[in-house]
Structure 1
């Protein structure tokens, strides 16, 4: 007789929990939506309380919340287990079933998905911990990583060794603001290992297989450190290479890599698919980047037929040894007509030729909405020099960047200050015969830029060691221009970019992992690994964007590689952050100046 009673009690408890978690955030019927952001109006205990070990925490919000919202928005540092959340409109209680540890500082953090930045520190002893660590987190493309989470693990850990950041619970957690900045406050004294992750599903929990991580350039960071920079790379994996495979269509897969990949890093011959049981291989036909002309941890692969519901394994031998199991989907998207865009765009005067993939020099770029073949483009494309009375059709070189992006230039190269016409028959690209009286040709008429249309950037990169690679990234998301820093003193390297199209640029620098003189564009910033724990390669970022204007050189654009050596942690070692940017008329580079960037 006890069993039915216990089951009935359990059902009643579940119903009560469901009722508390189903409250709505909607305003009363007929009332307007309150545009003011939700905030905490009252807490018990109060923020900063000491000598308190509460059995419950009471919160009063300015707007109603639900139990489910609050439950998934809560995080305690250090972590706290075994508590219960109840909500009644604007009021909430967090009831604890176990006492807090004596003489410790605790921090309640609420996720920004619930409201803006909110923390509630309190101490079970006579004083709050007061140590802090601050810095910033950037995405792979060096844009601010807004709302990313940063985890801090006490080092050494409780067993006296380095923390296992894959499996250990973090001691502290904080979230970045819109600028990517983070700040840990009320830390216990000591040193910490840091891990940032992109919380793409906003659940305050790190999904190892899909969410990108960023590591510091140090194994440990002492409390009190400032200006610690972390940069997101790819997801964590046991081995380098492919971290995840997501089938998008019957013969289209999206691969996520452990490190950002540029077009030159992908070799379709090294990507292999086979049936997990029969070992039968599946042909890999082509690939393209979902982010046009940009380094990304994701690419898309076109492959041969796959059997729905059957297991397959994919690997990229060039990128690493990691093998990923996946199951195909039966979904097939509707095939739409292929659209075409060109760079330079039509009527560009001047037209800038090296804005998409600077590594390949002065070329125009053809971008398609779907994969196309080289033969289809050749049969549909005409390039001519249009400055003459009778335009001259030119022989051209067509280079494949990926299955949707190609570069084109005359055999003898584009001449500065010269008008050209690039024509593409969209009907032919789509495999259709020409339609009489229909305009199916995409035309781009442009005049190539010359030295009077470009500008430059120069400055100093401060780094305790070299070599140093400096990058200038245009705001359109294209791949970066690169130059090598030329060492002036023990810890300073000069650099100069010339021939840049006017616009806004992000300036950054890194110390390549290999540290050798290989091809400039094959040097890599390495994001580090969790197992074994390997810190990321040092990098630095110039604060704010740099504006380039024609015939002007933006100089004194200095970059600090801030977290390369322990001395660089303290703010008084920063050398370039306070310098004033100024512009001066661009002058021909002297023999003592750095070599210009590759164009």
Structure 2
């Protein structure tokens, strides 16, 4: 019996070993190193290749999804077969064309078994003829609000004969493709020398097409030239991302909050630009009696998708119908300035009594300091959580402790600032009654000209120039340069500022992104590489800028 157990034990251990599933070891420091390409067979850059299977060997075992990161140019009607086995990726082409350069691109979706992905794409090429194409196009894709790098964008190149306009990336398959790395940079390699239309697209579904709603970046010029001249490295082209928004916000749902409040939700973030005009465009009708109900609309702070209606009196427990007729100028709009189309929604308010009381949300501009310095033209304000009603009478502007006769105005129904005709004293206080014997205050000062500085510069562009001067916190200052491109941004508080400068080709005083089809370049854009330091009683001049 003991001899039988001795014989059985090794067999059991052998069986357990055969059934074990290899897994990455746990413990130790986190793995942050992406896999690297160790070798290729045939070697990268080989010519006269006849073997249809290309083997890529990496430094570590790969995730099974690595196959989805591989693309081959030129594309064929039958896609290549991609197999991942441990550290190896085999790419088998259905056939080979004569005298053709093939480019295999491994995108940043390739990751190891710990899900550590490539930081930049890998490109491997071989040729079936005696020579391999050596053309290159390099570039950088950036986002236009802060100038940050835009990683993970697909970059597509389309061979462009002299007689053709740039193709439509929504319908045409690219001739070459790569991706941006985490730094936003890309390099299209092994191109046949010539002209190419180039587009960058955030191709989320990886279908090789520019779909509606996907961010994209048009080339700064209708075409870029791929040159094989290794003595003159190509100059990187800068692409600015945008999204083409032609769809206005849609009113999706009207929901009751209480017997005096209704919330209206839109399909995308909106801004209530003119609460009074929006209220005039909205008609709230009691379906039982047909009577109109007096309501005012406002947008609470932080409520990007919703606006709220407040009724003067309790609403009846009957179906209410809200009808909107768009005014000529949108009183509510999305980030592209588009207002909603006409709509009609309904709901039934509950019997639940309204208990919302307006509270002070913040003094403006928002600051942690008890004394806030205002730049010239900047207006202070106070923001409530809901329309203050009679509580607005408790808001006072005090100079030396004496109330000044000031009216307050609002665009969103909850934020109130001294009207534009009020001349602000050099030092004053905003005071708000928050209880029978309680007030909240914020001190302000309008700096003397001797406490302020300026930024000046010269910009060369093919259109009128706009200069956006951005402080570390608070709203930016927008300046239009003179006809010769010179600008002066004065009245600035001391401190660091970032400059965002663009050629305003369409004259709307806003930066406008490009278009893929029909092609239109984005307005040329520039960010100051370092913050510009402003000092009191000093004009700081920046280096000349060419857009």
TM-score under structure 1 length normalisation: 0.63
Per-residue CA deviations over 1:311-357 (Å, capped at 9, x if unaligned) read: x99999855699899x99xxxxxx99977233342535551346xxx
**Structure 1 residues 397 and 78, CA gap change in structure 2 (3 angstroms):** farther
SS in structure 1 at match of 2:523:
coil
TM alignment of 1:422-501, pairs within 5 A: 422-424=430-432, 434=435, 442-463=440-461, 465-476=462-473, 479-488=475-484, 493-501=485-493
Q: Which residue of 1 aligns with 2:90?
A: 93
Per-residue CA deviations over 1:448-487 (Å, capped at 9, x if unaligned) read: 3332333221111012x232222223344x5532222224
Partners in 1 of 2:59 and 2:250 — Cα distance?
41
Q: Which residue of 1 aligns with 2:241?
A: 232
- Does residue 364 of structure 1 match 2:367? no
Q: Which residue of 1 aligns with 2:166?
A: 162
- Does residue 194 of structure 1 match 2:191? no
Q: Which residue of 2 aligns with 1:573?
A: none
SS in structure 2 at match of 1:513:
coil
Q: Tell me if structure 2 keeps the 8 A contact 1:505–1:545.
A: yes
TM alignment of 1:493-572, pairs within 5 A: 493-515=485-507, 522-561=508-547
Shift of 1:106: 0.9
TM alignment of 1:143-162, pairs within 5 A: 143-149=147-153, 151-156=155-160, 160-162=164-166
Residue ranges of structure 2 left out of the alignment (5+ in a row): 1-20, 111-116, 228-233, 256-262, 284-294, 310-322, 331-336, 347-355
SS in structure 2 at match of 1:486:
coil
**Structure 1 residues 346 and 303, CA gap change in structure 2 (3 angstroms):** closer
Q: Which residue of 1 aligns with 2:387?
A: 373
TM alignment of 1:14-53, pairs within 5 A: 27-28=24-25, 30-45=26-41, 46-52=43-49
Partners in 2 of 1:342 and 1:458 — Cα distance?
31
SS in structure 2 at match of 1:255:
coil
Partners in 2 of 1:403 and 1:37 — Cα distance?
52
Q: Which residue of 2 aligns with 1:185?
A: 189
Shift of 1:61: 3.7
Higher-Rg structure is 2
Partners in 2 of 1:51 and 1:244 — Cα distance?
58
Q: Which residue of 2 aligns with 1:343?
A: 364
**Structure 1 residues 262 and 211, CA gap change in structure 2 (3 angstroms):** farther
Shift of 1:534: 2.8
Q: Which residue of 1 aligns with 2:53?
A: 56
Shift of 1:529: 3.0
**Structure 1 residues 289 and 173, CA gap change in structure 2 (3 angstroms):** farther
Partners in 2 of 1:167 and 1:270 — Cα distance?
44
SS in structure 2 at match of 1:452:
helix
**Structure 1 residues 77 and 384, CA gap change in structure 2 (3 angstroms):** farther
Shift of 1:78: 4.2
TM alignment of 1:280-429, pairs within 5 A: 285=297, 300-302=305-307, 319=337, 340-344=361-365, 345-349=367-371, 351-353=373-375, 361-366=377-382, 372-373=386-387, 375=389, 378-379=392-393, 381-385=395-399, 388=400, 391-402=401-412, 405-408=415-418, 412-416=422-426, 418=427, 420-424=428-432
Of the three residues 85, 103, 126, the one matched with 1:123 is: 126
Partners in 2 of 1:560 and 1:269 — Cα distance?
46
Per-residue CA deviations over 1:482-511 (Å, capped at 9, x if unaligned) read: 2222244xxxx2111111233333323323
Partners in 2 of 1:510 and 1:53 — Cα distance?
51
- Does residue 242 of structure 1 match 2:248? yes
Q: Which residue of 2 aligns with 1:576?
A: none
SS in structure 1 at match of 2:67:
helix
Partners in 1 of 2:282 and 2:75 — Cα distance?
43
Residue ranges of structure 1 left out of the alignment (5+ in a row): 1-22, 274-282, 292-298, 305-311, 329-334, 355-360, 427-433, 516-521, 562-599
Shift of 1:122: 0.5
Q: Which residue of 2 aligns with 1:253?
A: 266
SS in structure 2 at match of 1:242:
coil
Partners in 1 of 2:58 and 2:179 — Cα distance?
20
Aligned pair count reads 467
**Structure 1 residues 97 and 525, CA gap change in structure 2 (3 angstroms):** same
Q: Tell me if structure 2 keeps the 8 A contact 1:364–1:409.
A: no
Partners in 2 of 1:202 and 1:549 — Cα distance?
50
